[in-house]
């Protein structure tokens, strides 16, 4: 795979940051469920939180290929940090505001997101509405010059910590995607209550919350685009998110592979390192192949986005393949480690729990396959 000097440099910088600042503390952060705000600030200080956004708004102006390499490096060390800092803060919230906000809105919010002065969240899912977001029940009704939001959101990453929340709401009940609008709501807005969702099986250092809107008032200056643009804003942002999540999954596979190679060379059975047993080699060979295949699909998706071409097909392929391959790699890595793979002291069981989360958020594997089926067949099964 041909990478430019600049792309390699971004990967190497992110990788050494991840190995120095993130990986050594993964276990204690997962146990304490510590939200990684301090790491987000350090990422910003090191120029790693500004992503593929224009420099005039505080972005780093890097290409999408560089960005997925950065996501691979950070996500491979901690999928929780990746979730909070990269896919939510940058890919979802950053994209929604940068692509659909006006100049004043971009200047008001983007520099604070890219410097970690503010934390962002992206609130699409609801208690009754997941894979079919056009059915959303949270409403935004006109009242004078304001919009009034009523309803609830569920599963919102960064939700309890966020200063800014991109909230999707239905302005015309019954109209499905046509009436969806996106608003930027302050985390401390009057009428908004937030509750942590505890006890996730993985991604424990990333916050997940339920949000309750009871007459939350926002003005037009909080509306991104026009009232009916919300569905497109969600889909465009999710496409950015899915590309980055595929990259995080590649990072997980690479971490599993590295752990397996190291363990297989030092653990001996039948008088020789287990690396010399054929079925152990098969496990490592399959993992190495999946790692490269997932990386190539992810880079292809990023290149298609960089070329400004329709990228849905490549993005959903990368997302479902890489996240499921990460689940498989982590499961295999536990087997290869034998009994110790089942201990929290070793990193691979945690990677399995995190990888499963990646296969669910930003659309489940089944939803990615339905989107891909529609691209390939030209027939929608939704
Ligand atoms: C850790 C985590 C973090 C998250 N963060 C966020 C966030 O920041 N913001 C946000 O808005 N949401 C977030 N989510 C929500 C996530 O995007 C949803 O959980 C996901 O889209 C699935 O929705 P659901 O849970 O309601 O499942 P459902 O939609 O109820 O689906 C249940 C099952 O049915 C399947 N299914 C549904 N429809 C079809 C169909 N037409 N054909 C075939 N199968 C189908 C699904 O694939 C799944 O297997 C997060 C979720 C998790 C687990």
DSSP letter assigned to residue 9: H
Taking the C-alpha atoms of residue 42 and residue 342, their distance in angstroms, rounded to an integer, is: 32
Give CATH for domain 235-377: 1.20.140.10
Can you read off the two tokens belonging to residue 94? 């950053």
* Ligand 1 centroid to residue 129 C-alpha, Å: 8
Whether residue 122 has its Cβ less than 6 Å from ligand 1: yes
Instruction: Describe the chain by its helix, strand, coil percentages, rounded to 5.
Output: 60, 15, 25
Residues 100-154: pLDDT tens digits?
999 999 999 999 999 999 999 999 999 999 999 999 999 999 999 999 999 999 9
Whether residue 157 has its Cβ less than 6 Å from ligand 1: yes
- pTM over 0.95? The answer is yes
Q: Which atom of ligand 1 is nearest to the CA of 159?
A: 8
Q: Which atom of ligand 1 is nearest to the CA of 125?
A: 11
Compute the residue count for the chain.
Answer: 382
Rg (C-alpha) for the chain, rounded Å, is: 21
The catalytically annotated residue of 21, 126, 324, 362 is 362
Contact 70, 52 (CB under 8 A): no
b/e sequence 206-241, b meaning 16+ C-beta within 10 Å? bbbbbbbbeebbbeeebbbbebebbbebbebbbbbb
Taking the C-alpha atoms of residue 323 and residue 75, their distance in angstroms, rounded to an integer, is: 12
Taking the C-alpha atoms of residue 260 and residue 265, their distance in angstroms, rounded to an integer, is: 8
Q: Tokens 């971004």 label which residue?
A: 10
Whether residue 205 has its Cβ less than 6 Å from ligand 1: no
Active site residue 362: yes
Q: Which atom of ligand 1 is nearest to the CA of 200?
A: 1
Which residues of the chain carry a pLDDT beneath 50? Answer: none
Whether residue 361 has its Cβ less than 6 Å from ligand 1: yes
* Ligand 1 centroid to residue 139 C-alpha, Å: 20
Q: Tokens 């292809």 label which residue?
A: 300
* Ligand 1 centroid to residue 180 C-alpha, Å: 19
State the architecture of 5-118 in CATH terms. Answer: Orthogonal Bundle (1.10)
Contact 124, 153 (CB under 8 A): yes
Q: Looking at residue 58, what is its pLDDT?
A: 98
Whether residue 80 has its Cβ less than 6 Å from ligand 1: no
Contact 193, 216 (CB under 8 A): no
What is residue 117's three-state secondary structure?
Answer: coil
Contact 297, 246 (CB under 8 A): yes
Taking the C-alpha atoms of residue 82 and residue 80, their distance in angstroms, rounded to an integer, is: 5
Whether residue 53 has its Cβ less than 6 Å from ligand 1: no
DSSP letter assigned to residue 159: T
Whether residue 156 has its Cβ less than 6 Å from ligand 1: yes
Cα 172 off chain centre by: 29
Taking the C-alpha atoms of residue 138 and residue 181, their distance in angstroms, rounded to an integer, is: 11
**Which residue's CA is minimally distant from atom 51 of ligand 1?**
361
Cα 223 off chain centre by: 23
Candidates 243, 367, 235; CA nearest to 303 is 243
Q: Where are the domains of the chain?
A: 5-118, 121-231, 235-377
Residues 58-69: pLDDT tens digits?
999 999 999 999
Q: Which atom of ligand 1 is nearest to the CA of 382?
A: 41
Whether residue 67 has its Cβ less than 6 Å from ligand 1: no
Can you read off the two tokens belonging to residue 175? 């109209």
Q: Looking at residue 29, what is its pLDDT?
A: 86
Give CATH for domain 121-231: 2.40.110.10
Phi, psi of 340 (to 5 degrees): -70, -20
**Which residue's CA is minimally distant from atom 44 of ligand 1?**
366
Cα 373 off chain centre by: 23
Contact 181, 231 (CB under 8 A): no
* Ligand 1 centroid to residue 361 C-alpha, Å: 6
Whether residue 206 has its Cβ less than 6 Å from ligand 1: no
* Ligand 1 centroid to residue 240 C-alpha, Å: 17
C-alpha distances (whole Å) from 280 to each of 149, 253, 286, 292, 310 are: 56, 16, 10, 19, 41
Can you read off the two tokens belonging to residue 367? 């939803």
Query: Residue 331: which H helix or E strand, with range?
Result: helix 312-336
Query: Residue 328: which H helix or E strand, with range?
Result: helix 312-336
Mutating to test ligand 1, I would choose from 130, 245, 323, 324 the residue with most ligand atoms within 8 A of its C-beta, which is: 130
Q: Tokens 């990986």 label which residue?
A: 23
Q: Which atom of ligand 1 is nearest to the CA of 364?
A: 47
């Amino acid at each position: 795979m041909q990478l430019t000097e600049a792309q390699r440099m971004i990967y190497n910088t992110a990788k050494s940051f991840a190995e120095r600042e993130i990986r050594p503390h993964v276990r204690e952060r997962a146990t304490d469920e510590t939200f990684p705000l301090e790491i987000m600030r350090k990422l910003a200080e090191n120029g790693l939180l500004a992503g593929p956004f224009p420099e005039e708004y505080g972005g780093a102006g890097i290409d999408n290929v560089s960005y997925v390499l950065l996501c691979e490096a950070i996500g491979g060390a901690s999928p929780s940090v990746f979730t909070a800092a990269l896919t939510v803060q940058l890919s979802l919230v950053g994209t929604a505001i940068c692509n659909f906000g006006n100049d004043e809105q971009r200047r008001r919010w983007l520099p604070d997101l890219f410097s970690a002065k503010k934390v962002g969240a992206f609130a699409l899912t609801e208690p009754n509405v997941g894979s079919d977001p056009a059915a959303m029940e949270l409403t935004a009704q006109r009242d004078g010059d304001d919009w009034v939001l009523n309803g609830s959101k569920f599963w919102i990453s960064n939700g309890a910590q966020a200063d800014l929340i991109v909230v999707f709401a239905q302005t015309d009940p019954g109209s499905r995607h046509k009436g969806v609008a996106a608003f930027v709501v302050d985390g401390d807005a009057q009428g908004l209550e937030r509750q942590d969702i505890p006890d996730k099986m993985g991604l424990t250092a990333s916050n997940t919350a339920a949000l309750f809107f009871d007459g939350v008032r926002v003005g037009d200056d909080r509306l991104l685009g026009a009232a009916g643009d919300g569905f497109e804003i969600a889909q465009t942002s999710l496409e950015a998110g899915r590309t980055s999540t595929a990259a995080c999954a590649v990072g997980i596979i690479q971490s599993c592979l590295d752990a397996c190679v190291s363990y297989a060379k030092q653990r001996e059975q039948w008088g020789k390192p287990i690396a010399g047993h054929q079925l152990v080699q098969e496990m490592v060979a399959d993992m190495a192949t999946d790692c490269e295949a997932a990386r190539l699909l992810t880079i292809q998706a990023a290149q298609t986005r960089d070329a400004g071409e329709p990228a849905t097909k490549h993005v959903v392929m990368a997302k479902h393949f890489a996240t499921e391959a990460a689940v498989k790699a982590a499961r295999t890595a536990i087997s290869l480690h034998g009994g110790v793979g089942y201990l929290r002291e070793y990193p691979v069981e945690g990677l399995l729990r995190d990888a499963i989360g990646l296969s669910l958020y930003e659309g489940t594997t089944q939803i990615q396959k339905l989107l891909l089926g529609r691209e390939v067949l030209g027939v929608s099964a939704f």
